[in-house]
Amino acid sequence: MIDKYSFGSITIDGRTYDTDVIIYPERIDDRWWRKEGHWLQLADLGGVRETHPSVLVVGTGYFERMYVDPSVSDWLQQQGITLIACDTTRACTEFNRLKETQKVVAVLHLAC
């Protein structure tokens, strides 16, 4: 459960992180970083691809400055994975809404 999000900080199940994170069903990766900073590419989603979620929630930042490469959208569609890409505030809400009923993974950019 995402308890709280604000610019540059997120609290998940009572633990606070100040780095971008991937929330898997069984763990949190707080060492996640992208190959090209504000550009989400397939290469950035290795663990996500291995998890086979039904939904991938992408938090594109507080001001939506991270962009999703079209190849990511294409690949997810081919795999039957629903993509929800939006500002990180809304992404946190979507993750919490979906996590009880679907296998969901969230990749969240916490800053810009």
Mean of pLDDT over the chain: 96
Spatial contact of 3 and 11, defined as CB atoms under 8 Å apart? yes
Domain ranges of the chain: 2-108
Burial class (CB in 10 A: 0-12, 13-18, 19+), 105: buried
CATH ID of 2-108, from 3.30.413.10, 3.40.50.1000, 3.40.1230.10, 3.40.50.300: 3.40.1230.10
Rounded CA Rg of the chain: 12
- DSSP assignment of 1-58, as one string? -EEEEETTEEEETTEEE-S-EEE-SS-EETT---TBTTEE-GGGGHHHHHH--SEEEE
Q: How confident is the model at residue 33 (pLDDT cuts 50, 70, 90)?
A: confident
3-state secondary structure of 68: strand
- What is the model's pTM? 0.96
